[in-house]
Amino acid sequence: MTEWLGLPPLAAAHGGAIDNMIGWIHIFMLVLFVGWGGFLLYTLVRFRQSRNPVADYRGVTSHNSTYLEVGVAVVEGVLLIGFAIPLWAARVDARPPESEALVVQVTGEQFAWNVHYPGPDRVFGRTDIKLLDLQSNPLGVDRSDPAAKDDVTTVNQLFLPVNRPIIVRLRSKDVIHSFGVPEFRVKQDAVPGLTIPIWFIPTITTADMRTRLGNPAFEYEIACAQLCGLGHARMRGFVTVQSAEEFQTWMDEAVKEQAAAADDPFR
Ligand SMILES: [Cu+2]
């Protein structure tokens, strides 16, 4: 019902509820705009100077405006209590259990998105700021930690399986960034010093979306949605949504490659 808003194509399970809410807000705001605009025009005509040469010091005695304002407050209350709060509760409080989800850490920095997968053991390896190297180890993963041996990191490339809950733990190294993927209807600030979880279920693979849109170059894009410095505009990450099998193949390859690279004494 929200095609008239021209939103980006939808590719996440919860997105319909968000679009619904955006639709209702637009409808209510249109009613308010027309109502207040009409009222303004009415007062301009009704209280024009030629009809009211002398000011009326008694003012308005009817209570209509009070009733109207109560009406507006009720509508806004419905938006807040009926739509916004339940949606917030479902989106933020009711996170799926980590055992059923793919948990991935995404760390913003000026000006890139660092992605960290825990690997098959589902445990994030230790990271140490002393090991941090912007070229070879931007997250400072300590490969000597057993839990880190199978960890996978990427820069600006987030690979996700379709139809599975994804929990992104959002962090930042430096300033406030914002993780926004319009097709997933998610946008959340990444705040230094905090780890903020967000979750969603991607429903359409990148390949299917390309066919659907007739655009072979389509990519889901992580746009940094907070002005975070001079390079903000080039802080673009890409999300590749794959079938469960394709994702597993990619993950197995990446685990092997990165573990081998970490073991290479000549690196
Ligand atoms: Cu940024």
106-129, pLDDT tens digit by residue?
999 999 999 999 999 999 999 888
Say which DSSP state 229 is in.
Answer: S
pLDDT over 60 at 235, yes or no: yes
pLDDT at 170: 97
Global pTM value: 0.85
pLDDT over 90 at 184, yes or no: yes
pLDDT at 266: 60
Dihedral angle sign, alpha carbons of residues 237, 181, 196, 205 = negative
How many angstroms does the Cα of residue 144 sit away from the middle of ligand 1?
Answer: 31
How many angstroms does the Cα of residue 55 sit away from the middle of ligand 1?
Answer: 56
How many angstroms does the Cα of residue 233 sit away from the middle of ligand 1?
Answer: 8
pLDDT at 41: 96
Radius of gyration of the chain (CA): 26
Give the C-alpha separation, 235 to 224, whole Å: 6
How many angstroms does the Cα of residue 28 sit away from the middle of ligand 1?
Answer: 33
How many angstroms does the Cα of residue 53 sit away from the middle of ligand 1?
Answer: 59
Backbone angles phi, psi at 235, to 5 degrees: -85, 75
Expressed in angstroms, the distance from the first to the final Cα of the chain is 55
**What value does the mean pLDDT take over residues 183-210?**
95
pLDDT at 62: 86
- Give which of 76, 108, 129 is closest to 189, Cα–Cα: 108
Contact 229, 111 (CB under 8 A): yes
pLDDT at 64: 85
How many angstroms does the Cα of residue 106 sit away from the middle of ligand 1?
Answer: 12
pLDDT over 80 at 72, yes or no: yes
